[in-house]
Structure 1
Amino acid sequence: MPSLPLKAFFRFTDAVFAVMLAFLSLAILLGVGKLFLHLWPLVKSGTVTGSYIDIITDVLSLFVIIELARSLAEYFHVQRLRLTFIADAAIVSVLRDVMIGLFQKSLTIELILSLSALLLVLGALRTSAVLVFQRERMIDRSLRGKDAC
């Protein structure tokens, strides 16, 4: 049974994560509203090339925020932060920067190579996290099976 300071710590972290999740939810709502506001100049200009970079940037930024919100929501479900969701958010964030850089034609060879290496490391980290999680579940199932006998 956890001690009183430990219970207080868990309640505090739950409250902090709840506030963070509320702010992220508000940011998602505001981001969707901003996305719709960017549609008006696009419709008014008559060409797609006018403000498409703003719309792409907003959509990709929303993906990052949604991945972070998923990570926090999962915390309330299992009472721990899963590395896969955090790695997903990091991967989406790096891909966002790559895509924006490609659209703006502002990426150098060195930056492309370094971001590619970062994506490789993040992908390996995410893959290992999934494999470790599956292994833990298999061990958990086998231990529960032995307890039932």
Structure 2
Amino acid sequence: MFSTFFKKLYRQTIDIVFGVILALIIIGIAIGAGQLVFSVWDLLKLEGVTGQYINIITDVLTLYVLIELSRSITDYFISHKLKISLIIDAAIVFIIREILIALFKHKIDPSMLYALSAFLFVLGALRTAAIILYQREKVIADESHD
């Protein structure tokens, strides 16, 4: 009974914490989307082709990372598990964001590009392994029900 109480308290506390995090991410996405709409007006200043585009690209990619993170937290409420594949997806998007921004600004040295590429490769391999493991567990679960 005592152990059950703490397990229930733990689950409720985690649910509240993840709920607050999700609410803050949603607010951040809404504010970011609103600011993105207003930043489109800066494109009309005719500062050259790349004038404000880097800021818009950065903002869009940042919003995409936030959306990926919110997706993993939303999935937690369904399964009460944090799926590593969704977290890896957010990390992949973040690394791609960093590479694109650095390449667009022409401010990345080859060693950093190699390091980020290697990290991206490792994340991709982890993501692929997570898919294979999930499929294998699914097949085993299906076979045990037969």
Using structure 2 for the length normalisation, give the TM-score.
0.94
Using structure 1 for the length normalisation, give the TM-score.
0.93
- Describe how 1:1-149 pairs up with structure 2 within 5 A: 3-45=4-46, 47-145=48-146
Task: State the shift of 1:47 in Å.
Answer: 4.6
- CA RMSD across the alignment: 1.4
Question: Partners in 2 of 1:137 and 1:115 — Cα distance?
Answer: 33
More displaced stretch, 123-132 vs 134-143:
134-143
Task: State the shift of 1:48 in Å.
Answer: 3.6
* Identity level (%): 43
Gaps of 5+ in 1: none
SS in 2 for 1:3: helix
Task: State the shift of 1:49 in Å.
Answer: 2.2
Question: Partners in 2 of 1:110 and 1:135 — Cα distance?
Answer: 37
Task: State the shift of 1:43 in Å.
Answer: 2.1
Amino acid at match of 1:144: H
Task: State the shift of 1:142 in Å.
Answer: 1.4
Question: Partners in 1 of 2:77 and 2:40 — Cα distance?
Answer: 35
1:105-142 CA-to-partner distances (Å, cap 9, x unmatched) read 00001000000100010000111111111111111111
Amino acid at match of 2:84: L
1:20-66 CA-to-partner distances (Å, cap 9, x unmatched) read 11111111101101111211110233754210000000000011000
SS in 2 for 1:16: helix
Report how many residues are paired.
145
Question: Partners in 1 of 2:67 and 2:49 — Cα distance?
Answer: 26
